[in-house]
Amino acid sequence: MDLLIILTYVAFAWAVFKIFRIPVNKWTVPTAALGGVFLIGALILLMNYNHPYTSLAQKAVIAIPVTPQVTGVVSDVTQKQDIRIKKGEILFRLERTRYQARVERIQADLMTAIHNVHVLKGQMDEAIANTSHVSAERDRLFKEYQRYLMGSQAKVNPFSERDIDNARQDFLAQDALVKSSVAEQAQIKSQLDSVVNGEQSQVVSLRAQLSEALYNLEQTVVRAPSNGYVTQVLIRPGSYAAALPLRPVMIFIPEQKRQIIAQFRQNSLLRLKAGDEAEVVFNALPGRIFSGRLTRILPVVPGGAYQAQGTLQSLSVVSGSDGVLAIIELDPDSEVDALPDGIFAQVAVYSDHFAHVSVMRKVLLRMTSWLHYLYLDH
């Protein structure tokens, strides 16, 4: 862009020499050259400092990598590639036989567990009744045994030692049955008392497993997370899709406000403020100028971001990573919306300082846009 200013001045000086027939000699040529150096130098410094420009800008868009939550073989893929789709539309399906079978198996186990709870309640009632029965029989035999003992202590013992021993053994045997029945009753009660949120623990566990199985079954159908489109769909029926975050199978581009990300020199930071007027030109649209606003400056420089590693970290010296990133929001325009996401652009921001010099920047930006007709590399 500085070259355009110099060439413009050279053309203007040549026209002045020709129109006014100024003689070319050792005084006029150095005067024009030195005057151009001071004039152009001052204008370039004022313009570059107060109205920053960058050729490093891009129509940025946030992409969502699509990774299935479950693993399986792809059975069906959407045909709507690079076409707007609505939230919830199917992107692809996975074979669901294995996940359906697990749901049905857990459902069967759950029904069995619920039935077992009713069986346990019946067994509990039966155990209580049995305990009452054997306890009554034990009490009767105890009284019988006591009667034999009291008879043995009389002057005339009507019972033999054998009768007394049999009565004692019958009582002890019945007492053992009572203890066994009480233990069985306690065991059944402990199973019934293992309750979580009002339900038997095994039933709760199976319900949780069923919820997880139903969720996994539902995840065999992968849907659009929002309105947008998918691009470069490379999977086909028969492809294997794994639930690995590092292996997405599809890229989804959600609908979003179209923004321009521009990278400026660090010495432009004092003249970049949110709300400043901005203009953008695209390589793909020669001769067109698009207006917008600088919305914010990102609070970090890409080259200054570090992550914990197994080695000592040194300063980043990667070329092109030291610029300040700014976000430009363009005014609504159908031509901009029709451009492919990720396309490159050039941006100029106009501050309130030396506003009259911004006319030069605007003229130069339009000249840059016209040069795009020539397929020049920048």
Look at residue 196 in the predicted model and tell me its pLDDT. 46
- The secondary element (H helix, E strand) that includes residue 163 is helix 161-193
Q: How far apart are the first and last CA of the chain?
A: 10
Using pLDDT thresholds of 50, 70 and 90, give the confidence band for residue 71. very high
The reply to whether 273 and 203 lie within a common domain is no
- Residue 186 maps to a domain: yes
CA distance 223 to 1: 48
- Residue 312 maps to a domain: no
- Residue 315 maps to a domain: no
CATH code, domain with 236: 2.40.50.100
From 215, 242, 267, give the residue that closes a domain. 215
Say if residue 374's pLDDT is above 50.
yes
**Domain of residue 88, residue span:** 64-95+220-254
CB atoms within 10 A of CB 105: 13
Residue 280 bridge partners (DSSP): 290, 347
Burial (CB < 10 A; 0-12, 13-18, 19+), residue 51, is buried
The reply to whether 237 and 327 lie within a common domain is no
The reply to whether 230 and 147 lie within a common domain is no
In whole numbers, what is the pLDDT of the chain averaged over residues?
83
Residue appearing with tokens 């402990």? 190
Beta-carbon contacts of residue 101 (< 8 Å; ≥ 6 apart): none
| Least confident stretch, 80-89, 134-143, 275-284 | 134-143
The reply to whether 71 and 37 lie within a common domain is no
Which pLDDT tens digit goes with each residue over 298-342? 988 887 777 777 777 777 666 667 789 999 999 888 888 888 888
- Residue 187 maps to a domain: yes
CA distance 123 to 190: 13
Task: Give me the number of domains the chain comprises.
Answer: 4
The reply to whether 234 and 261 lie within a common domain is no
CB atoms within 10 A of CB 202: 18
| Least confident stretch, 138-142, 185-189, 241-245 | 185-189
Look at 369 and 188; give whichever has higher pLDDT: 369
The reply to whether 123 and 204 lie within a common domain is yes
The reply to whether 105 and 72 lie within a common domain is no
Main-chain phi, psi angles of 263, to 5 degrees: -110, 115
The reply to whether 208 and 227 lie within a common domain is no
The reply to whether 274 and 364 lie within a common domain is yes
Provide the token pair at 250: 């599809």
The reply to whether 23 and 106 lie within a common domain is no
- Residue 314 maps to a domain: no
Beta-carbon contacts of residue 249 (< 8 Å; ≥ 6 apart): 66, 67, 68, 74, 92, 234, 235, 239, 241
- Residue 311 maps to a domain: no
The reply to whether 158 and 16 lie within a common domain is no
Rounded mean pLDDT of 31-46?
81
CA distance 252 to 233: 10
CATH code, domain with 354: 2.40.30.170
Rounded mean pLDDT of 69-85?
90
Looking at the chain, the whole-number percentage of residues with pLDDT higher than 90 is 26
Largest CA distance in the chain: 168
The reply to whether 86 and 226 lie within a common domain is yes
Rounded mean pLDDT of 125-134?
76
Which pLDDT tens digit goes with each residue over 215-239? 999 999 999 999 999 988 888 999 9
- Residue 343 maps to a domain: yes
Residue appearing with tokens 């690079």? 82
Main-chain phi, psi angles of 3, to 5 degrees: -65, -35
Cα pseudo-dihedral 127, 130, 136, 142, rounded to 10: -90
Residue 13 near residue 33, CB atoms below 8 Å: no
CA distance 231 to 245: 19
Say if residue 101's pLDDT is above 80.
yes
Question: How many residues are recorded in the chain?
Answer: 378
- Considering the entire predicted model, what is its pTM? 0.63
Please choose, from the candidates 62, 131, 73, the residue with its C-alpha nearest in 3D space to the C-alpha of residue 97.
Answer: 73
Look at residue 146 in the predicted model and tell me its pLDDT. 76
Beta-carbon contacts of residue 164 (< 8 Å; ≥ 6 apart): 145, 148, 149, 152
Please choose, from the candidates 275, 371, 363, 352, the residue with its C-alpha nearest in 3D space to the C-alpha of residue 51.
Answer: 352
Please choose, from the candidates 192, 222, 211, the residue with its C-alpha nearest in 3D space to the C-alpha of residue 77.
Answer: 222
- Residue 310 maps to a domain: no
